[in-house]
Amino acid sequence: VKVRFSEETDADLIWNKITQILTSFDYNEDEKQKLFVIFQELVSNAVKYGGSGNLMVRINPAWCVIRVQDNGKGFDVDSYFEVKREEKVQKFLDEKYIDYPRTKSFGIGLSLVKQYSSKFLYNKAGNIFISVVKKTSRFTEYYSKYEEE
């Protein structure tokens, strides 16, 4: 799936198509939920900070790759990850709580993306993000006829 988006409402339509593909490859609900968080966070950040962007999603039975590039000025991603999630939440509570209905952001979204990704990559400019998620292995139980009971 390759698309250009400029509004978060575009994301809903795109996600519906991605869900159909994930289902056809037998991704379970937990995997879909994690991919949704990654997808939603990367696309909403691109719209919020870059105005619009390009999305590329590749899915197969073993993994899913989500790549988002926005048109924003970017930011220092390495510095972002140096601050622990707890500190970001506390900073939000200390500084932004009064404006919460307007901001609705804890600033921890990329931390979740990184946590849910098997591999998370980004460029130095901070406007291209790639998340790779490996599908959970599913092994069927197998007992050899020669195995002792």
Say if residues 14 and 93 touch (Cβ distance below 8 Å).
no
pLDDT at residue 145, rounded to an integer: 46
Give the whole-angstrom CA distance, residue 63 versus residue 33. 14
pLDDT at residue 140, rounded to an integer: 40
Residue partners of 124: CB distance under 8 A and separation at least 6? none
Query: What is the number of alpha carbons within 13 Å of residue 56 lying toward its C-beta?
Result: 8
Tokens 């901001």, residue located: 103
Give the whole-angstrom CA distance, residue 63 versus residue 111. 20
Of 7-11, 39-43, 87-91, the one with minimum mean pLDDT is 87-91
Tokens 């590749």, residue located: 58
The string of pLDDT tens digits covering residues 95-127 is 655 555 545 555 678 888 888 999 998 888 888
Of 29 and 78, the one with more pLDDT: 29
The string of pLDDT tens digits covering residues 37-78 is 999 888 888 888 888 889 999 998 888 999 999 888 888 888
